[in-house]
Structure 1
Amino acid sequence: MTTTTRPASQEAFHALLADLTAQIDGRPLDAALDRWLNAAHGAGSATYEQLRSACLAGVAEGWLCEREGGGIKYGRVFKAEDALHRFSVDVVDMQDLAGPHHTHPNGEIDLIMPIEGSSATFDGRPAGWCVYGPGTAHRPTVAQGRALVLYLLPEGQIQFSK
């Protein structure tokens, strides 16, 4: 019998996310959560730097952003599961483009991580967190450079527009 094991860096990434999602579990996805995430875990914080390093390692090792379409590298890293407090985790790698329009039935929490010394923004927001409430929609846009964006989706729910 064989079992599939994750790379050590993927296990560490999962542990970081489990700790973070424990802190946001049960909180409304709203402006207050956006402010709290940026104050407690925003750009320059230990959490931000750990997540950013884990994402860069995952891309380098090939288990993050392993798919590509429309100029976007992407991939679902973890499905919604109890260990992650029912959040799924996706990471995209985008540079100066807009992605496909979609709706967030249960909301979306994004971590914006500019890379390669860029001052990239995501939907006009700089490095840090961006929270979209339930029922919101957008066409995710990275401008002024390249960024990795980590998406936490409650129950993994996202609906792409036709």
Structure 2
Amino acid sequence: MTPDQFQALIAKVTGEIAGRPLDGQLADFLNERFPATGAEFQAIAQACADAVAAGWMCEREHGGIKFGRVIKPCDALHGFSVDVVEMQDLVGPQHAHPNGEIDMIMPLEGDAKFDGHGAGWFVYGPGSVHRPTVSDGRAYVLYLLPQGAIEFTKQ
């Protein structure tokens, strides 16, 4: 798995959601179009595992969270950036999503949930704020951020 191959996988997703509002309807669409048990979701999950093993994804670590921006916002991904984190039973730093955030939740061990949601997709709307939390196990979470916008806030 190379970064270019990974970008091509993600482009299939961003191509289907470009221009849509970031809301609950988008989460429903993603969970129907790219279900956690489906081939495309599983291909992205396997690509994340392969990229982490190869050392070019989640290459940084702080406070027990492995993370990294995999792709900066670009036209090929319709203005989305891609970040991936690996977390296990912990709460991350509070941050805001000026333009929203699309989360792909990939449990790795246990019955891992991200902010209370299991395998699949969850969407935070523009202006939302949260402390990302993985409970009940270990998971990768892939974040699609419109224009790469994220603001870390004081708690």
- Shorter-chain TM band: over 0.9
Partner of 2:134: 142
For residue 77 of structure 1, the aligned residue among 52, 70, 73 is 70
State the shift of 1:18 in Å: 1.1
Distance 1:47 1:140 in 2: 25
Quote the Cα distance in structure 2 between the aligned partners of 1:159 and 1:131.
17
Count of residues paired in the alignment = 154
CA shift, 1:9, in A, is 2.8
Native 8 Å contact 1:88 1:152 kept in 2: yes
| Residue 47 of structure 1, CA deviation | 1.4
Higher strand share: 2
Q: Does 1:152 align with 2:144?
A: yes
Structure 1 unmatched ranges of 5 or more:
1-7
- Structure 2 unaligned regions, length at least 5: none
Q: 32, 35, 41: which is aligned to 1:48?
A: 41
Question: Which amino acid is the alignment partner of residue 12 of structure 1?
Answer: Q
Structure-to-structure mapping, 1:19-58, within 5 angstroms: 19-58=12-51
1:5 alignment partner in structure 2: none
Cα deviation, 1:39-64, whole Å, max 9, x if unaligned, reads 11021011110110000001100000
- Give the RMSD, CA atoms, in angstroms: 0.8
1:133 paired with 2:132, answer no
Distance in 2 separating the partners of 1:9 and 1:81:
17
1:9–1:57 contact (8 Å) kept in structure 2: no
Runs of 4+ in 1 over 6 A off after TM superposition: none
